[in-house]
Amino acid sequence: MAVYTQLSAETLSDLISHYDVGELVSAKGIAEGISNSNWLVETTTSRFILTMYERRIDIADLPFFLGLLDHLSAKGLPVPRTIHDTSGAASRMIDGKAVALIEFLPGVSIDNPTPSQAHNVGAVLARLHLAADDYPGRRTNDLGPDTSLHVLEQCGAEALARIDAELPEMLPMARSIAADWPKDLPRSVIHSDLFPDNVLMLGDEVSGLIDFYFACHDMTAYDLAVTHAAWSFDHDGRSFRSDIGSALIGGYQSVRALSVAERAAMPILARGACMRFISSRTQDWIDTPTDALVTRKDPMDFVRRLQFYQSNGAELFA
Ligand SMILES: Nc1ncnc2c1ncn2[C@@H]1O[C@H](COP(=O)(O)OP(=O)(O)OP(=O)(O)O)[C@@H](O)[C@H]1O
Ligand SMILES: N[C@@H](CCO)C(=O)O
């Protein structure tokens, strides 16, 4: 249950009174998500998502994330705009924690996408990269291959083996990915976490892209690799869905063609994408007590994906 902070009816009413959105009717905690507390807020005029930033997010980055939502939504992307308070601010503080009111978008997250849905996700990702290109905010990727390597080295082979006997094999793999990481590919602002649970769909159409709290400047082909790894496998990464992978890349290229260099880099970008989630999931696995309310995500789901790309990446992206 991702509502870490209880807010009283008075606190919520007072908060809403600082926005020009009518009066509070109801606020329901949203169970999905693990990083922040989220409420579905209904007022006399509309529905909104209220987010309280609890952990992981550096509050200094909030203007970058919230400004990006407004930038993309103004360009016609299915991205929620932020609601500014009557003084013009995109975020406010409650008891020392930042909160933001965000447009509610319709749609549902898809567990088993069809090729047509995957095509449209690929296309909207390319549109995002083009639309974000002139966004003036700057934020570097702090979860690149050097960080993945550092995190796994800090955990150490023994702790990794306690999670799974195969996990220590990721240490030399992380070293080689960091050493060979491409540097000169096209960049823009990327989402960098476009998993199915961060995409809302109505039928085949993408109705919402959410959770931009890992967005940063990085290689656009890396973002496509993250999305490919997140969408083209069954849940635990044991079986690859080639129809979904092809549709995703086809959809992307229907809007923005990959260069020869980007295509050639896709195998290592896909391995690096897997390594980013192996390392963050490993760290969370070690840091999260087994009796915690949040469910830990298994790093091995992405070890299997990485092994798949290691064996098949060259033909897959040729
Ligand atoms: N703008 C929106 N419109 C509609 N629903 C939304 C919106 N933003 C968030 N949600 C809902 O709230 C849930 C949690 O949001 P989100 O994924 O941003 O939380 P989080 O804690 O930051 O996530 P994560 O665990 O991925 O870090 C989503 O799964 C979705 O159901
Ligand atoms: N989408 C990520 C969580 C955010 O880092 C995962 O599934 O591991």
Q: From ligand 1's centre to the CA of 96, what distance in Å? A: 22
The response to whether residue 277 sits with its C-beta less than 6 Å from ligand 2 reads yes
ipTM: 0.94
Residues 82 and 151 in one domain: no
Dist CA 129 CA 192 (whole Å): 11
Residues 93 and 200 in one domain: no
Q: From ligand 2's centre to the CA of 165, what distance in Å? A: 22
Domain-embedded: residue 110: no
The response to whether residue 57 sits with its C-beta less than 6 Å from ligand 1 reads no
Q: What is the pLDDT along the chain (318 residues), one digit of tens a residue?
A: 467 788 899 999 999 999 999 999 999 999 776 778 899 999 999 999 999 998 778 899 999 999 999 999 999 999 999 999 999 999 999 989 999 999 999 999 999 999 999 999 999 999 999 999 999 999 999 999 999 999 999 999 999 999 999 999 999 999 999 999 999 999 999 999 999 999 999 999 999 999 999 999 999 999 999 999 999 999 899 999 999 999 999 999 999 999 999 999 999 999 999 999 999 999 999 987 676 667 789 999 999 999 999 999 999 998
Domain-embedded: residue 24: yes
The response to whether residue 211 sits with its C-beta less than 6 Å from ligand 2 reads no
Total count of domains within the chain? 2
Q: Which atom of ligand 2 is nearest to the CA of 195?
A: 1
The response to whether residue 280 sits with its C-beta less than 6 Å from ligand 2 reads yes
Last residue of a domain, one of 75, 103, 131: 103
Looking at residue 80, which CATH number applies to its domain?
3.30.200.20
CB 130 within 8 A of CB 255: yes
Last residue of a domain, one of 50, 76, 103: 103
Domain-embedded: residue 108: no
Q: From ligand 2's centre to the CA of 193, what distance in Å? A: 7
Domain with 15, as residue range(s), is 9-103
Residue with the smallest CA separation from ligand 2 atom 8 is 277
Residues 305 and 193 in one domain: yes
Domain-embedded: residue 1: no
- Asked whether the whole model's pTM tops 0.80, one would answer yes
Residues 215 and 297 in one domain: yes
Domain-embedded: residue 122: yes
Domain-embedded: residue 4: no
